Amino acid sequence: MKFTHGYWVLRENFTLNYAQQWVRTDVKGDSLHIKSACHPIRSRGEGVGGAALDITFTAPRPNIIRVKITHFKGMKEPCPRFETYEQPVQPVIAEDEKQVIFQSGELRAEIQKPAGGEWQVAFYGGDRLLTTSGYRSMGHAWERNTRETFMIESLMLDVGECVYGLGERFGAYVKNGQSIDMWNADGGTASDLAYKNIPFYMTNRGYGVFVENTSDVSFEVASEKVERVQFSVSGETLTYDIIYGGTPKKTIDLYTALTGRPALVPAWSFGLWLSTSFTTNYDENTVTSFIDGMTQRDIPLSVFHFDCFWMKNFNWCDFTWDPDTFPDPEGMLRRYHDRGLRLCCWINPYIAQASPLFDEGMEHGYLIRKTNGDVWQTDMWQTGMGIVDVTNPDARKWYCDHLRRLMDMGVDCFKTDFGERIPVRDIAYFDGSDPLYMHNYYSYLYNRMVFETIREKRGEGDAIVFARSATAGGQQFPVHWGGDNSATYISMAETLRGGLGLSHCGFGYWSHDISGFEQTAPADVYKRWCAFGLLSSHSRLHGSVSYRVPWLFDEESCDVLRKFVRLKCRLMPYLYACAVEAHEHGTPMARPMMMEFPNDPGCDMLDRQYMLGENLLVAPVFTKAGDVSFYAPEGMWTNILDGHTVSCGWHKEVHDFMSMPLMAREGCVIPMGACDSHPDYDYLDGLELHVYALAEGKSASCTVYDLNGKPAACFTITMKNGKSEVITDSQKPYTVVLH
């Protein structure tokens, strides 16, 4: 939200009061309290009247400083608030005549007193200045007509500083120059709306900022003032955290320690998922024909997904198999399990009026109500639908008991669709939550209750959802997919941009609808997208109006899909180690180039390639002809598909549908398994250690994990006299392959 016209002039009808001068310091336990006047105080009389801000500094974890700015503290702080996982810190607090210092680990805030110069709060990582809040930065705004109030903060950007994150957004990857509001919406990937709004950003200067407000935080990223990131919230209080990791990966580590780590998802989930698609006609014979077709073409399939019409139309959700289409659901699920498949069903948190559950939910208060006591209803999506009140414990149990019944039938997991269209006007939640603050946070409670239900039923490490909506903390309940894209190269590229942005927010896993959700792709788009999709953390064939089985496109599509599914299965020792890293540190499996190479300015703006784990560079091909350009950071890079090498710099190549730039980093080890038919197997059986361009006298290491995420064996390979020497604790035979 913009409050000014240019640098000097305020927008009409706004009154703004900015922090201008330190007045007083109070230390209470481990917190520092600063009172700042919003006008100069040159005499005792000037302390009478006028606005002032109370600024509190605390340390929720080492290397994190929380700043809370309050104008009027008598206003009740709305809920819900983000859940955070805090760790006791003994901050260093010091003061002299010129400044006050608050330090958490290597991160410190220096608050300027009048004797030290103009008002300023400066944040340092070690001896390096990260950012500042100074002139016309920290303030309170009042709109005189509506009498609405806002709290504002503006943090300085340095020369060449790029801003990333703020959720899964499909516009420009670098956020400088954009105005962004945190408001979950079902807008598709071709709009500026987002399903997953995360009020966290990081920059290429080694720090991040998390605004601890679940409502519609407004960001002006080098837009209202091109030298600042401004963020504002309605009300009288603003809380944000400065998070200093020094590097992007360490910053993500700290952020996910604060807001929650991604769960470790089961190894079987990394295989190929095939969906019925949305509006297609299907029954057991149709589904079986798809599964048989994949088997006949030797294409491994791990998960089959039943989309909306497993339930009767107009009844979504009643959690009951349409008896006209699926007369024997338990037998069907058993038959598919016998073929080694896992099974997923589509759900959402909406209950249509035609559903037998609507009356039950209305009677017991399980649906969101208006302030007058009526059930809130809409015809948008399902006729007369209501929405489950996830703040009501009894409603959650009621909803999840139906999921438990489905899992008893044989369903393994759920696609948790929607959760963005949550009303805010005249709404009364069971627990008294503020509707504005629940709009985005609903997605957190919705996905958490489903994920935890699966985990309780299936056990730790075997739970997974396929979620569309999210807010901060939602990374704990994976996996998330990118929403409704289209069957074009342009949409394929915007999909990748969204995934890169989400990865900056601690989401360790991410997927998308291969070949696009809307329309039906031409065969070339399908084939290019298959390669991209199988080199994402999770891989799903899904669409809207047509089936996505490859033989409906052309026979080469079967060859392409088969090759990349089998490649992904063989890469599982490497990929599963990346998943463990995501679980333990929040580092995303598919990560932006700048996250892995923060000291290479050539990586700052790259949005058509990414790193899959630490050692594989992936550059999807976005053209029918196969033309692709990609940037290789320092060192020699080897394409693991055909063995050709490139050095540092930009490269233009042409690839057929069976190939793409998939480049191994110089001096790395890529462990590859012997099994190419499914993703969950003993990765040590027949293990191959592929060593790429390891220099004489240098060493490289890797760890292979078991299916519980525990280290099974560690390998260290050293080149001596042109030969490899291996130190390992593995008890099984392995092969070293030098490249």
Decide the pairing of beta strands 303-306 and 272-275: parallel
3-state DSSP: the chain helix, strand, coil percent, rounded to 5?
A: 25, 30, 45
Q: How many CB atoms lie within 10 A of CB 95?
A: 14
Complete DSSP assignment for 507-572: ----B-EET-SBS---HHHHHHHHHHHHTSSSEEE--SSS---GGGT-HHHHHHHHHHHHHHHHTH
CB 663 within 8 A of CB 624: no
| Angstrom distance (rounded) from CA 335 to CA 145 | 66
Q: Residue 541 pairs with which residues in a beta bridge?
A: 274, 514
Element (H, E) at 249: helix 248-259
| Angstrom distance (rounded) from CA 158 to CA 131 | 8
Active-site positions read: 417, 420, 484
Q: CA 88 from chain center: how many Å?
A: 27
Q: Residue 656 pairs with which residues in a beta bridge?
A: none
Q: How many CB atoms lie within 10 A of CB 250?
A: 18
CA distances from 120 to 4, 114, 157, 202, 630 (A): 20, 10, 15, 21, 42
| Angstrom distance (rounded) from CA 129 to CA 122 | 7
CB 75 within 8 A of CB 250: no
Give, as one character, the DSSP assignment of residue 47: G
| Angstrom distance (rounded) from CA 283 to CA 279 | 13
CB 641 within 8 A of CB 672: no
Radius of gyration of the chain (CA): 27
Please report the beta strands in 371-527, taking only residues with DSSP state E, as ranges in sequence order.
386-387, 413-416, 427-428, 513-514
Q: CA 272 from chain center: how many Å?
A: 21
510 closest CA partner among 533, 484, 531, 487: 533
